Amino acid sequence: MSKLKKLIKNPDLFIQDFLKKRNLNEINLIKSLNIPFFQKRENPNIKSTNSVITSNIRLFKKTVHLLHTGEGMTHGPSHLDQWVEHFAKSGEDFAILIRNKALFDWAIQKYSYLDIVYAKNPSDVENILNKLPFIKAVYYFSNTGNLIHTLRYNRYKHIFLGHGDSDKAASAHKFFRVYDEIWVAGQAHIDRFKNAGFNVEHIEFVKIGRPNLKDILNKRLNSLAQDKTPSQLNKLVYLPTWEGVYDENNYSSAHLTVVMLSEVVKKFNCNLDVKFHPVMGSRDNTLLNLNLSLNEVFFASPVEVTIHTKERPVDSFIGNGDAFICDISAVVSECISTLAPIFLYIPTDREILTSSSDMQYSDYAYTFSNIEELLYLLDEVFIKGKDSLAEMRYKALDYLLTIEATKKDEFYNQLRNISKDSTLLNNSREKVIQ
């Protein structure tokens, strides 16, 4: 059979003979590159059955608020956990738009009673939005590329909620100009944008406080009024951040964890609460087993060492902390709600980028760059009783979290205002139709 006839009548046999005659090294090279000789093409007109899932949402109802998450399982669960409870408490109708299938599967298991939809493609997003005609505002927890599929609609108010704020460089950059409003905990986040050096005049900043920290804040303010601020180090809470995508974004003290906590416990005999960042070890896999290393070190120790799961919210356990060891991250603004001393790690072995507010960390937190400095500062505060930053922590509390906005549920008030505006608009439309 000639080569041409073989190719026409029996292409599979032709390919087999062709491969046999090829140099083995070339074949192995092609295999190693994972490049097929003939690649099956999908029909672009056939939509995947997994591109949109509406089984967990009631469409066409008067849902005004839409929560958008473009994250996967690495960040998505913690972002949703931080805000879903408070949207539910508001009593306002809302739905959740999820762009990652694994996160959708997780969400409908945990929040089966909520309206949740999965949309993979831009056309699926459009299809869903057309079936939610009363949406007035879309809320975002993080800056992911796929949020452009909702941002392109001018008829919605696009609001950035975030998942906490800090002086990390990612807290204030030009991408934020895509939003109509940025809801911030306090003045600190607004000042970060002011100091970032680009125009944000069109953005409306709304101070909503931190609804998840209201109970802790009230408890500590009452304690302060009764002059019962903690003076002994019974429980130390350690909350390191992850190692960042690049070294200039690496604010983490995680590499010091085992030795640092061992030395602290040896000197102060205190109990420990530890929670590692959900994506710890993403860039540096030597940090993946820090929990096992800590368990080994403190296995026979008389002190109580609790290593919380990465999924557990920080606000669920920080209320009992007498002191905190933190890195530059959003947990600083959570820990400030307790008004307890904060010891903040500032790396000096690398150049790091920050987005600074008008109040520096050193104004209200004890900063250290090595273990010796940390031990000295802990001794000054808890052994010698020289807590010189106590008053500044109270000022920082209002600067970071806006005490009145947190206490008076400004977050819920803002949601209701949007719903109210939506109701008035719909009523006016109905009158025009009549």
pLDDT tens, position by position, 77-92: 989 999 999 999 999 9
| pLDDT in the model for residue 36 | 36
Q: What is the pLDDT of residues 94-138, one digit of tens each?
A: 999 999 999 999 999 999 999 999 999 999 999 999 999 999 999
| pLDDT in the model for residue 247 | 73
Percent of residues, the chain, with pLDDT higher than 90: 57
> At residue 50, does pLDDT exceed 70?
no
pLDDT interval class at 170 (50, 70, 90) = low
| pLDDT in the model for residue 74 | 84
CA contacts within 13 A on the Cβ side of 265: 21
**pLDDT higher at 35 or 150:** 150
Q: Domains, the chain, ranges and CATH?
A: 3-33 (no CATH), 52-163 (3.40.50.720), 214-401 (3.40.50.2000)
Vertex 170 angle, CA 412 and 163, to 5°: 25
**How far apart, in whole angstroms, are the C-alpha atoms of residue 25 and residue 294?**
48
Mean pLDDT of the residues in the chain: 83
> At residue 408, does pLDDT exceed 90?
yes
| pLDDT in the model for residue 44 | 38
**How far apart, in whole angstroms, are the C-alpha atoms of residue 124 and residue 343?**
47
| pLDDT in the model for residue 22 | 43
> At residue 431, does pLDDT exceed 70?
no
| pLDDT in the model for residue 284 | 84
Whole-model pTM: value is: 0.77
Average pLDDT score over residue span 4-11: 48
**How far apart, in whole angstroms, are the C-alpha atoms of residue 61 and residue 74?**
31
> At residue 254, does pLDDT exceed 80?
yes
**How far apart, in whole angstroms, are the C-alpha atoms of residue 242 and residue 210?**
23
pLDDT interval class at 239 (50, 70, 90) = very high
